[in-house]
Amino acid sequence: MLSRIRRWSILSVLGLFFFMVIVDGSIVAIAIPKVAQSLSISTGATTLIISIYLITICATLLLFGQFGDQYGRIKIFKIGTFVFLLGSFLAGAGQMLNLVLLGRLIQGIGASMTMANSYAIVTDIFPSKELGRAFGIESIFISLGALAGPGLGGLILAQLPWGYIFWINLPIGLICLVVELAIFPKDESKVKQKIDWYGALTLMLAAISLYLVTATLSSNIPLTILFLGGFLAFGWWFIKIEQKVDPPLLNLAIFRTQLFTKRIITAFLTFIVSYFFMILAPLYLQLALNYSVQFSGILLMVAPITSIIVSPIAGYISDHYDQRVEMTVGLVILIVSQFVLILLSGKFEPMFFISVSVIMAIGTAVFGTPNSVIVMQSVPKELRGMAGSTNSLMREFGLVLGTTISTALFYQIMSLMSHKEVHTASGASKRVLLISQRWTYGVAFLILLLAIFYLIVMIRKGGTHEER
C-alpha cells in the first residue's frame, strides 16, 4: 500500500487532469459567438467542435479501458496525457474549422486514455474506507470541470484570442506529466490478451454515425435519419459481438450487477441534462442580456466555486450515511434548479442566474459523489477498470446527446418562431432567444423527472436488500 501522502498526491494529479479533459468538453460553449465569427461559420456549426471531442471519447473509452486492464492503467494514463497535450496545441493553432476539428479529435483520444483508467487507478490505490473521500475529492475536479468550462473560457477570452482556451492546457498538463513520471507507481504485471479490435471498430463506426447525425441535424433531415439508422445498427451489432468475443471490449456481465446498472442509467439521464445548461447559458448571458464575455465568464464561475465547497461535504456524507437517500436528495435539488431555469426571463439579473447556478451545483455534487462510489464498489475488483470506463462512456455519451438534443431543439424552436430556417443565435431578438431557451429547458426538466421516477422505483424494488 502506498503512503498516505503519495496516495493523495496521485489523486490530486488524477483530479487535475480529469478537470482539464472535462473542461475541454464545455469550454468552447462560451466561445461559440467569437469562434463562429473568426472562422466564418454559423453558431450551430461551431457545436461540431464540441461534439467531435465528446464522440471521439465515446468511440475509444472502452478500448483504452481494455488497454489499461491488460497493459497497465498508469502506463496508458501517461501516454494519454501526452496525446491530449498534442491535441490541445493543434486545436489552439488551427485557423480553419477542419484543422480545429483535427486537434479536437487528437485531444479526444488523449482524454479517453486518461478517463478510461482514472477511476480504476483511484480504486486500486485507496483502501475501501477512504474511497468515499477520494471520490469526493475527484468529484470536486469533475464538477469543477463540468461547470467551470464556460466561465474559465470567458475569463480567457476577455484577454486573449480564442485559441488560448485550448493552449491553457499546455503548462498545466506538462506539470501533471512531470509529476506522473515522478510519483506514480509502476503497474502490476499484466497478462497480455487478445484485443477486441472487431468490437472497437464497430463502436467507432457507431460513433462516426452519431457524429454525422450531429453534423447534418440542422441542414439535411433525410441524411440525419440515415445516419441515425446507421448508429442504431452499429450499436446493435456491437452488442452482438460483445456477447460472443473473449475478452470483450464491453463485458456485458457487468450489467448483471443490478446496483451498477441502476446507478449508471440514472447518472446517464443527468449527464444528458447537464449539457443543456452548458450550451444555453453562455448564449443567454451574451446574446439575451448583452453581458460582456468577461462578465459572463465571472457569472459562470459561480457554479464551480459552489462545487468546491459542497463536494467534500457530499463525500463525507457518502462515507457515513445512506448513499441512496443522498442521491435522491441531490436529484430533487437538480429538478428544482431545472425548473428555475425555465423561469429565466432576463429580469432580476444577475442575481437570478447566480441563485440557480448555486442550486444546480449543490444538486450535482450531492447526487454525483455517492453515485460514483456505488458504481465502483458494486462490481468485483477485476471489473473495476471496466466499470470506470463504462461510467465515463455513459457520461460522454450523455453529454453528446445533451449537446445534440439541446442544440436541435433550440434552433428548431427559433426557426418556428422566425418562420424561416435558423442556424445561428447571433442577431436573434431577445424574445425569440428566451422562448426557445424556455422550451428547451422544459425538455431537460422532463428528463430529470424520468430520472428520479426511475431511481425511486429501483430503490423501492431493491428495498433494504439492495447492495451498498
Q: Are 81 and 180 in contact (CB under 8 A)?
A: yes
Q: Residue 189 — very low, low, confident or very high, per pLDDT cuts 50/70/90?
A: low
Pair (238, 255) in one structural domain: no
pLDDT at 436: 92
Question: Grid coordinates standing for 142?
Answer: 469533475
Q: Percentage of the chain with pLDDT > 70?
A: 94
Q: What is the pLDDT of residues 196-207, one digit of tens each?
A: 888 889 988 998
Q: What is the pLDDT of residue 385?
A: 65
129 and 166 both lie in a single domain = yes
- Mean per-residue pLDDT, 341-355: 91
Same domain, 85 and 199: no
Q: Which amino acid is at 71?
A: Y
Q: Are residues 266 and 157 in the same domain?
A: yes
28 and 43 assigned to the same domain: yes
pLDDT at residue number 77:
93
Identify whether 466 is part of a domain: no
Summary mean pLDDT of the chain: 84
Looking at the 3D structure of the chain, how many domains does it have?
A: 2
The pLDDT of residue 39 is above 80: yes
Residue 273 has pLDDT above 60, yes or no: yes
- Distance of alpha carbon 407 from alpha carbon 399, whole angstroms: 12
Which are the contacts of 238, defined by CB distance < 8 A and separation ≥ 6? Answer: 199, 202, 203, 206, 250
The per-residue pLDDT for 78 is 93
Higher pLDDT, 438 or 126: 438
> Do 398 and 349 lie in a common domain?
yes
pLDDT: which is higher, 340 or 41? 340
Q: In this structure, is residue 363 part of a structural domain?
A: yes
pLDDT recorded at residue 246: 81
Checking if the pLDDT of 464 tops 70, the result is no
- pLDDT band at residue 67 under the 50/70/90 scheme: confident
| Chain segment 403-444, per-residue pLDDT in tens | 888 888 898 898 888 888 777 777 788 899 999 999 999 999
- Give 352's pLDDT tier (boundaries 50, 70, 90): very high
Q: Residue 465: inside a domain, yes or no?
A: no
Q: Are residues 446 and 303 in the same domain?
A: yes
Q: Which residues contact 348 (CB under 8 A, 6 or more apart)?
A: none
Is 301 among the domain residues?
yes
Residue 45, amino acid: A
- Residues 348 and 430 occupy one common structural domain: yes
Region 286-301: what's the mean pLDDT? 87
Residue 263 clears pLDDT 50, i.e. is over it: yes
- pLDDT of the residue at 468: 40
372 and 398, same domain (yes or no): yes
pLDDT-based confidence at residue 143 (cuts at 50, 70, 90): low
Q: Which residues form the domain of 396?
A: 4-185+247-460
Indicate whether 45 and 22 sit together in one domain.
yes
Residue 153 lies in a domain: yes
Looking at the domain assignment, is residue 238 inside a domain?
yes
Lowest mean pLDDT among 160-164, 188-192, 343-347: 188-192
The CATH number covering residue 179 comes to 1.20.1250.20
The whole model's pTM is what? 0.77
Q: Read off the pLDDT of each residue in 12-17 and give the average, rounded to a whole number.
A: 90
| Predicted pLDDT at 375 | 77
Residue 468 domain flag = no
Confidence band (pLDDT; 50, 70, 90) for 8?
confident
Which burial class, exposed, middle or buried, applies to 347 when counting CB atoms under 10 A from its CB (0-12, 13-18, 19+)? Answer: exposed
Tens digit of each residue's pLDDT (9 = 90 or more) over 244-256: 888 888 888 788 7
Say if residue 405 is in the same domain as residue 265. Answer: yes
- Could you tell me if 229 and 256 lie in one domain? no
Distance, CA of 231 to CA of 210 (rounded, Å) = 6
| 36: in domain | yes
**Number of residues written out for the chain:** 468
